[in-house]
Amino acid sequence: MADVYEYVPHHLLRRPVRDVASGMTGVLMAVVREDVSDNAVYQHWVELAYIRGTNGIEWSTAAGNIEPADG
C-alpha cells in the first residue's frame, strides 16, 4: 500500500498565518496532502495545513484556509 500522506512545499512555511475558518493565527508548520479515504480503490486526497499557535497548541485546517497573518 502506498503512503497515505506526503509533504507539500508551501511559500508560507514557518511564517505567521491566519486560519480564515477559525480566525486564529499561528506559524505554518507543514502542509500535507493526505489520503482520507477508507479504502484503496476510491482514494480521496486533501491538503491540510498544520499551524502552531503562540500557546504551543497545533491545529489543522484546509490549506486553502490560510493567508499571511499580516495581510
Mean pLDDT in each 10-residue stretch from start to end of the chain (71 residues)?
79 97 97 88 91 96 95 58
- Cα dist from 12 to 29, 30, 48, 49, whole Å: 9, 9, 13, 10
Q: How far apart are CA 39 and CA 63, in angstroms?
A: 23
| pLDDT attached to residue 47 | 95
Look up the pTM and report it.
0.85
Counted domains in the chain: 1
Q: How far apart are CA 62 and CA 31, in angstroms?
A: 9
Provide the domain limits for residue 14. Answer: 5-68
- Cα dist from 32 to 4, 19, 55, whole Å: 10, 16, 22
* CATH code (residue 30): 2.30.30
